[in-house]
Amino acid sequence: MGDIEAPSPESGSGSGPKAAVLLSILPSREFASSRRGMLLISEVALSFISFVCFAASTAAAFVTVPALEFLAAVFILFAYSTKFNERFKGFRWPLMDFMRCVTASIIFFIISIMAVSRYVDGSSKAAGIFGFIATIAFALDFYFIFNELANFLKQGGEPNEEPSRQQDDFSDSDSD
């Protein structure tokens, strides 16, 4: 009933293909309502709000961190919501996401302390407050990712993985 439908090409508005393309890049409801989806959407929103606040403040030197974290969070959100990460197995997606969250939480915490303590204008204080909230969101995300990685390693990786015989094939030993 509340579903968004793309207008049909017969309606004559010409926005049918545009709406279909827009709906195809937005996260699905299933992903957006999952814990991972909600954390990524909150990271994107908080990074963007922090970016805007830092850009409008006297602490504009810190604007790079929220901008980079916003772009990284948008990329990861896009990759997970469109299952782009499943097509490229060469990347270690969970590890890359874990490192992104750890560095983001540490750097957001540092620049938020500096923005709140050294600058007196309201937008610097707001940027610091949103930075602290973003720190919490990134820290929650890396905590959950760490738990998933730890459980994965405890189970020994994928159960259907064959033992590696490549070491025997490419051995450089001169014991022959």
Calculate what percentage of the chain has a pLDDT beyond 90. Answer: 43
Higher pLDDT pick, 108 / 32: 108
Given this model, what pLDDT does residue 4 score? 52
Residue 3 located in a structural domain: no
Instruction: Answer whether residue 100 is part of any domain.
Output: yes
- Evaluate if residue 114 carries a pLDDT over 50: yes
Q: From residue 35, how far is each of 30, 111, 119, 155 by CA, in Å?
A: 10, 27, 35, 22
pLDDT class of 158 with cuts at 50, 70, 90: low
Residue 22 maps to a domain: no
With respect to residue 33, please indicate whether it lies within any of the assigned structural domains. yes
pLDDT band at 23 (very low <50, low <70, confident <90, very high): low
Going 81 to 84 to 90 to 91, the CA torsion angle's sign is negative
| More confident: 77 or 10 | 77
